[in-house]
Structure 1
Amino acid sequence: MAHTSPVLAELTGAWHRSLLVEGDGSRDATSTVTWLQGPTRYADLRQAADRPHPQGSRSLGDLSFGQLLDLARQEGFAGRLHHADGAFHWNRAVDFAPTSVPDAGVLTWRGPMLMETGLHAPYTEHWLPGAGAGLPCAAVELADPDSGAIALLVRTRTWFGYGRSRPEPLPAHAPLAELVAGAGDLGRARQILDCEVSLGRVVGHRWTLHRSTLPHRVGRTLAPGLVGSAGLLLADTGPGGAPYARRWEVTAAEGRLDVLSSISGSSAGT
C-alpha cells in the first residue's frame, strides 16, 4: 500500500507524539510531547515523564541550581513550518535548547497517524492527532524593541502555543545542560534558561497555560489583547514573580487576528 505525504493544510491542529525511536534503537513512549500547528506557524514542547515539578515558584529566582539543571532537560521551540524538496522543515525562531542540526523530516500517513523520519538525524516519530483540529486557526510573530526579544503566538481551535526568546541568543554548539552547568553563578544560569515555550487551552475568554518550560508560568493566564493593528498585550511575569502586561509589536500575522484576543470585541487589521 502506498503511503502518501500530507500537505501543510492537513497538519493544522494539535499532535501528540506516541513514540520516538532514535538511531541507536532506543525508544521513548513516555515523554509528553505536543506539537501545535497553525496555518504555517507552530509551537512544540517536549518534557520527560519523570521531570520534577517545582511547587510554589514565582520566578526562576526561586529555583536552586539543581532545579535549574533539571529544567535544561526540556525541549521547546516555535517558528514556521514549510515544505520543500519532499520534506518538512521546522524553522526555529524561538528555541529553548538550541542545536546546530536543522530540524527537517519526511512525513507520511499511516492511517490517521503521521510517521516522521529524520532528514538530518536518524530518528522516527509517531504522531497522533488531538481532538478538535481545525478552525479557528491563526498566529502572529512578535517583537519587543526594548529588550530585543521575539515571540510567537499560535492558536488552533481551543489549543494555543506561545514561544518567547531570550533577549540574547545562545550558541548552538553545546547542549543546554552543559551551558547551565558551566554558568559562573546562579544569575547567569537563570539568564540562560529565561526562554518560554508554553502550551495551553482556551475556555471562553480565559487562556490558561497548562505546560511550560518555566514552572512558574503553569496555571497563569496569557490574556492576549490586540491593540490596534500592530500591537498585542500579553500577561507576563517579572523577575521577582509579579505579573504585568507586556506589549509586543506584531511583525507578521496569518489567519483571523480576532481569535488571538481574550477580550471580546477586540479588533485588528487583516
Structure 2
Amino acid sequence: MGSGTDTGAYAYEQKVAVEAAEEAGALLSARFAKAHTVGSKGDGGDVVTDLDLAAEEVILARLRTHFPHERIVSEEAGLLEADGSRTWLVDPLDGSNNVAIGLTAYAVGIALCVDGSPVVGVVHEPVTGRTWRAALGQGAWCGTTRLGGPRAQLPRCGPVLAWTQGHSVSRSDVRAQALRGALELHSRRVLQLWAPLLGWTMLASGTIDGYLGYRAEAVDFPGGALLATEAGVEFRSLSGGPFRVGFDGPDSGRSFVAARGEALAHLVDLASAATGGTPAAE
C-alpha cells in the first residue's frame, strides 16, 4: 500500500479492503466494454449492471473470508447481518449509471464503521488504477502521498464544488432544487458526477474546494467522508451546526456541507439561505 497507514490501528482491515477494492476494480476494467443493465432501483432511473453484481461478489468473498463474523451492508446485496459493533459498507460500482452509458467515471468503495462511525475508508478508481485510503487518526493517502485537502481561501472566481443527493430525492424536491440553484449561481463549477466517491477523492486531494450533499446514500458516504476528514476537511449541517459522519439513521441526517476556512463559511451561508436556515430544512 505504501507508507502512512501500513501499521497502527486498523492496518489489517485497511489492507484487506484495498486488496478487495483493487481486485474488483480489475474485473470492472476488464469487462467495462461489455457491461449491460440487469435491473433498476427506485423511481429515479438508477440502474444495476451485471458488473455491480460481479464486483460485489468479489468483495464479499474477501470480507467473509477475513471477517466472517462481521456485519456487511452492500449496495446490491443489502444487509448481511451479524452481531457486534463493526459494519462493513460496500459500494462495488459507484457510478453504475455512467457505466451503463459507456462513461468511464466510476469507482469502488469499501468502508468499515464501528458504532456507526467510519474508521477505514478505501476508494479505488479502475480507470487510472489509483487507490485512496484512510484510517481514523492516520491521515488520508494516495500511494505514498499524504493528502492535504482543499485550500482554505475562497477563490476569487468562485469555488469548484461537488454535489450529491440520495436515490430517494425526487426531481420535484424543492429543497434540492433550491440548493443546486444556489450553488450554480455562486460557484465557478458544480460537479454532478453520478459517482459520489470520485468527488470525495478530489476533495481530499485538494482539486476541488467543497462538497455539498443532500440526503446522501448511506453506503458510499462514510468512507468518502473519512478520506476528506483525514485530509483536514470540516463538516457542517446545512444550517451551519455540528455534523456527525455516519451511516445509520434516516437519510435526512446525511445532508451536509464539507470544506474548510472561507470556502466552508461560503457554503454554509449558501446552504442556510437556500433551505431557510433551520434544522428542520435538513
The TM-score with structure 2 as length reference comes to 0.25
TM-score under structure 1 length normalisation: 0.26
**Structure number having the greater strand percentage:** 1
